[in-house]
């Protein structure tokens, strides 16, 4: 995680002056294991799949995502600290132990988040989930309408571009929504294993079928270390599922600094402060996430440069 943070110019929480404290991030995924790095910050849990009350994760994907967003690195002596180690996490289990699920469960999870946003202070929703079923690859699909409704409620929706690249029109649903912040991988040229499949140049590319330019932003996604669903353990995972929580965590820092910022203002700032990597727009979107630039005050924005590290 240290190397990943250097790529996107993110110091530790103390150096940044912000940790995401008080910002609620809902994670729709396979659940969340109460890893020591979360301490008492998993403040809500809803199990759409099995109806269990106590937080759990029978896959580990959701826990890994939560660790990237808000792990405090306690079990690793701070080495594997997440982006916003002071934020609050709300786990919503919409995928089963194999990482599979139904659109209806994702929609039920979204409804629950919208109904409970005030109770848990939810500002951001992370969805590292996507479908590449051609039957739902349209803006009128139930999944797109679901994330759009949450966006219209004022939630910052951060969604993975999917791992179906490198061809055009490979953004997964609901990342095809024109409203949400869709995240691709900035380092997908590396050969990795995703869900047991060997991949390279895997990050979903736009445009969408409706000619919407996607992704919006990219962040590292290859061999990211984060929390496992075992006490004090960590593991590598790869994919745009890992890129997405880096952006969600960065936004938690931003919303701690500017708590009255709207989701539209957040998206505009993401666009304005991204670093152009010189890649095709349908691959990089606006460019690479740069946390230092994202948090900088107006008039004090660090100079951006292609390939800046």
Whether residue 241 is preceded by a cis peptide bond, meaning omega within 30 degrees of 0, is no
Alpha carbon 32 to its chain's center:
15
CB 87 within 8 A of CB 42: no
| Sign of the torsion formed by the C-alpha atoms of 128, 36, 38 and 108 | positive
- Contacts of residue 279, Cβ cutoff 8 Å, sequence gap at least 6: none
Helix axis angle for 142-152 and 103-120, nearest 10°, is 10
Hunting for tokens 């080495």 — which residue is that? 79
Distances (CA, A) of 19 to 58, 174, 218, 242: 28, 28, 21, 19
Q: Cβ–Cβ contacts within 10 Å for residue 260, how many?
A: 6
What is the C-alpha separation between 162 and 172, in angstroms, rounded?
Answer: 5
- Contacts of residue 282, Cβ cutoff 8 Å, sequence gap at least 6: 168, 205, 206, 207, 213, 214
Alpha helix positions (H), 97-204:
103-120, 142-152
Active site residues: 29, 61, 241
Strand, helix or coil at 229? Answer: coil
Could you give the strand order of the β-sheet that contains 181-185, starting from the edge strand earlier in sequence? 42-47, 88-93, 24-29, 122-127, 156-160, 181-185, 217-219
């Amino acid at each position: 995680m240290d190397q990943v943070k250097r790529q996107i110019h993110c110091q530790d929480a103390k150096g940044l002056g912000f940790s995401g404290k008080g910002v609620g991030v809902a994670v729709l995924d396979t659940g969340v294991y109460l890893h020591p790095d979360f301490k008492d910050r998993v403040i809500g849990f809803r199990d759409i799949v099995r109806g269990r009350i106590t937080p759990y994760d029978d896959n580990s994907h959701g826990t890994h995502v939560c660790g990237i967003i808000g792990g405090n690195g306690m079990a690793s002596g701070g080495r594997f600290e997440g982006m916003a180690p002071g934020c609050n996490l709300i786990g919503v289990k919409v995928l089963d132990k194999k990482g599979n699920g139904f659109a209806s469960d994702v929609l039920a999870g979204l409804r629950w988040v919208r109904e409970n946003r005030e109770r848990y202070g939810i500002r951001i929703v992370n969805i590292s989930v996507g479908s590449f079923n051609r039957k739902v690859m349209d803006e009128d699909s139930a999944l797109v309408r679901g994330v759009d409704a949450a966006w219209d409620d004022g939630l910052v929706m951060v969604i993975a571009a999917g791992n179906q690249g490198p061809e055009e029109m490979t953004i997964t649903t609901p990342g095809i929504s024109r409203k949400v912040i869709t995240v691709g991988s900035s380092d997908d040229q590396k050969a990795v294993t995703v869900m047991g499949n060997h991949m390279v140049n895997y990050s979903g590319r736009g445009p969408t079928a409706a000619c919407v330019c996607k992704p919006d932003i990219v962040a590292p996604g290859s061999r990211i270390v984060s929390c496992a669903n075992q006490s004090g353990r960590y593991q590598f995972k790869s994919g745009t599922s890992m890129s997405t929580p880096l952006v969600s965590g960065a936004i938690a820092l931003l919303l701690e600094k500017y708590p009255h910022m709207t989701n539209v203002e957040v998206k505009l700032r993401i666009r304005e402060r991204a670093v152009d990597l010189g890649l095709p727009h349908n691959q990089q979107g606006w460019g690479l996430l740069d946390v230092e630039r994202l948090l900088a005050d107006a008039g004090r924005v660090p100079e951006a440069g292609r390939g800046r590290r």
